[in-house]
Amino acid sequence: MEENVLAKRIQGDIKIAMKAGDRLRLDTLRMLLSELKGAQIDEGELSVEREIAILSSSARRRKESIREYENAGREDLASKERAELEIVTAYLPAQMDEAAIEAAVRSIIVETGALGPADIGKVMGAIMSRHKGAVDGNLVKNVAMRLLRG
């Protein structure tokens, strides 16, 4: 199993950003590398799946910040967060759209025999493990609840 693949890629991209004088990209990549290195210190060598989970968490935090800044009328800060989010998502697997998520959820519902909202845990667990890093958990939950309510 390859380890620290994304960290190595980010390190190389940091050098490119330095040479290009791209301050936003450089700062964002340094922050990502710092998060990955911190996890590596705590956990040992990181699998690609764990690196993706760390970067997904970083992307999720930026999405939350964007919403908060927009609600506060701080478009300048929201714009910066959107630019950082774009940099982060370049290192993540392509995200499934809502139609693909709905098809996957329907399949899992049939496969697990889920009957209603009480079975959301079974459905969420199966989807999130099969499509790790490629789905937005909140979107999956909303689609699953809508389908389970029938």
Q: What is the pLDDT, as a whole number, of residue 150?
A: 78
Residues 136-143, mean pLDDT to the nearest whole number:
87
Structure tokens at 134: 């490629």
Q: Domain boundary residue among 57, 89, 121?
A: 89
pLDDT at 109: 92
pLDDT at 34 over 80: yes
pLDDT at 2: 65
Q: Is the pLDDT of residue 148 over 80?
A: yes
- Statement to judge: residues 49 and 104 lie in one domain: no
Q: What's the gap between Cα 38 and its chain centre?
A: 18
> pLDDT (tens digit, 9 = 90+) per residue, 94-123?
888 899 999 999 999 999 998 889 999 999
At residue 131, the pLDDT reads: 84
Same domain, 27 and 70: yes
Name the residue range of residue 107's domain: 98-149
Smallest Cα–Cα separation from 89: which of 63, 55, 65, 61?
A: 55
pLDDT in tens, 53-91: 899 899 999 999 999 999 999 999 999 999 999 999 999
* Cβ(144)–Cβ(101) below 8 Å: no
Looking at the structure of the chain, the number of domains it has is 2
Look at the pTM and tell me if it is higher than 0.85.
no
CATH of the domain at 105: 1.10.10.410
13: domain CATH number?
Answer: 1.10.1510.10
Place of tokens 């999130």: 128
Among 42, 63, 89, give the residue marking a domain's end: 89
